[in-house]
Amino acid sequence: MPPGGGGGGCGERGCTALDHTPALVRGDGDAPPHSTPPLPAIVPVDPEEEKQHQPTVANLPEGPLVEILARVPYRSLCRFKCVSKAWLVLCSSRDIRKRSPQTLSGFFYYPANGLSFRNLSGRGLPLVDPYFPFLRESYERIYVKQICNGLLVCICLKPCSMGHKKDVVVCNPATEEWTVLPPIVLSTQTQESSNQLLDFARICLGFDAAFPSRFVVFVPMAYCGTDSGKVAIYSSESGQWNYVHNKWASGITLIDHSRRIRVFLHGTMHLTTLHESILTVDTEGKVWGEIRLPDDSLSCTDNVCLGQSQGLLYAWQIDNLHGCQLSIWVIEDYGTKKWTLKHYVNVLELFGRRYCEDGNSYSMFAIHPDRNVIFLTDMEKMAVSYGLDNQEVCIICTEFMYGLPYVPCFAELPSAGH
């Protein structure tokens, strides 16, 4: 994995002064870069003897140094690798990396030339290769459906006698591990209709890095006209799909056209609907629920998007037809399911504009998982971050970017088949 993307820069061209109230600063809301820790004492040795005793992962030093490095963010570990060969080996240790605390590193997004990755700093080589070379020997085309806490669920195509065979693949780009899920086929479905379901269904991945031994995948079955009352749930523990009848109210339609309307939080999948509500289901398909969206969100025509930050469920909406005002709500007590209007932001000010031109549209595409920072795009040529506490704006991309947030995870992928 390339060690680029470190540092706290703002964009490929740096931060540009914008005509708006919030302060524009360098950085993306991350903590300041860590300074390189001092090297441990090195006893001079004969060059020939040194060749015979090159450091290996198996000979990692015990004690405070390893404990310190295990608490260093991954981008800092990448910088430390450049210090010396000894530090390269030390900071490449899987035991250290999988214990290293991770935070938002960047975004996957789809420009005109296919999938790309943008570091949060806006500079340097991508922290992960969006071409996914570890999958390319097996698959011709790869479509990312969702990202959840470091894991990706993709539809992967490879040539076959019938045209293309579609697989559901869960992968970890940080460790280059991947596993193929078994086909989704019900008794009333042919293989052809199963492939159609994969084309249109919302495939939802659930993974919590705090419990890396398991992931789940949800597929509502309402897109092929058969078995519409069922949800397919895959568990990496069993390695099989479980088909269960949903307990949601009848007549409710899920929204399917956006990747930002599903959230896995507290062991529960959250899915938005066309009926001013969020449907919920636990990982075993036993607990089904519904959360009403904030009442004051219903005056806007744009769909409400979901996200999670610091263990809380967030919802947001931009009224692009009436002043481009952004409203952000949060459920501070998940037991009550009551929404609180937390922030109200003039989006035009963030982009240095006084009015919305005809046809212009703005979108908030992510919230930082660990900080009060949000990310927005003008849907044309600029993406920015905005600190809700300090009102700081930073340009992170100078092209269209509607990004999927990515947090590295170095835990071993459950049921990794490759």
Q: Can you give the pLDDT of all 418 residues of the chain as single tens digits?
A: 443 333 333 433 334 434 444 544 444 444 444 444 444 444 454 545 544 544 444 454 556 777 788 777 777 777 788 888 888 888 877 777 777 778 899 999 988 788 999 999 877 788 889 999 999 999 999 999 999 999 999 999 998 877 788 899 999 998 899 999 998 876 555 555 555 555 545 789 999 988 888 999 998 876 544 446 889 999 999 999 999 999 998 777 777 655 567 899 999 999 988 878 899 999 999 999 999 998 776 555 467 899 999 999 999 999 888 889 999 999 999 999 999 999 999 999 999 888 877 678 899 999 999 999 999 999 888 999 999 999 999 999 998 899 999 999 988 887 766 5
pLDDT at 188: 58
Q: CA 180, CA 166: separation in Å to the nearest integer?
A: 10
Beta-carbon contacts of 253 under 8 Å, excluding residues fewer than 6 positions away, are 273, 274, 275
Pairing state of beta strands 392-397 and 23-24? Answer: parallel
Tokens representing 256 are 């399917």
Residue type at 74 in one-letter notation: Y
103 contacts 369 by C-beta, under 8 angstroms: yes
Q: CA 324, CA 359: separation in Å to the nearest integer?
A: 12
Three-state DSSP class for 104? coil
**DSSP conformational letter for 403:** -
Among 64, 119, 58, 115, smallest CA distance to 90 is for 58
158 contacts 135 by C-beta, under 8 angstroms: no
CB atoms within 10 A of CB 253: 9
**DSSP conformational letter for 345:** E
pLDDT at 249: 85
If you compute the radius of gyration of the chain from its CA atoms, what whole number of angstroms results?
A: 23
Tokens representing 202 are 């919302």
Q: CA 114, CA 141: separation in Å to the nearest integer?
A: 11
Please write the tens of the pLDDT for every residue from 271-314: 988 878 899 999 999 999 999 998 776 555 467 899 999 999 99
Among 181, 204, 332, smallest CA distance to 264 is for 204
Three-state DSSP class for 110? coil
398 contacts 387 by C-beta, under 8 angstroms: no
pLDDT at 94: 74
Q: What is the pTM of this model?
A: 0.77
